[in-house]
Structure 1
């Protein structure tokens, strides 16, 4: 998954750079390359990256529930006591 994400990012950046280099010769084709590169970054690479990074993590730990609020409050109280 990591290598697929890297490949998509490199291909997208390559398409964007190529689009900017041919912009003077063929504006319509340049805009297509720039657009497909941007779509590749934000609709392919970013979700692939987020899936690979969040694999095996509990979403409950990152949600703002009363239990997590109490944990955060107790941690801030401990830090203030140490100082």
Structure 2
């Protein structure tokens, strides 16, 4: 998965750069497809890879997490 994301990133970046530096009829399409591929394919795959083993409740502001934060602040003050 890591290498697939890297390869797709290089392809989309190459498409964007090719569209910027080549002066042809398809340069705007290359830039557009590169940006679309980056934001609709590469970024979701990257996000999925990095968040798949994480517990979302650890990052939410629930009552329990707020209480833990307050306890940690009180411990640092003492």
Q: Give the structure 2 partner of residue 7 of structure 1.
A: 7
Unpaired runs of at least 5, structure 1: none
Unpaired runs of at least 5, structure 2: none
Shift of 1:73: 1.2
Q: How many positions carry a matched residue from both structures?
A: 78
- What TM-score do you get using the length of structure 2 for normalisation? 0.91
In the alignment, does 2:74 pair up with 1:77? yes
RMSD of the TM alignment (CA)? 1.1
Relative contact order higher in (CA < 8 Å, ≥ 6 apart): 1
Deviation string 1:29-74 (CA, Å, 9 cap, x unpaired) is 1111011111111111111011111121111111111111111111
2:49 & 2:65 partners in 1: Cα distance?
25
Segments of 4+ moved more than 6 angstroms: none
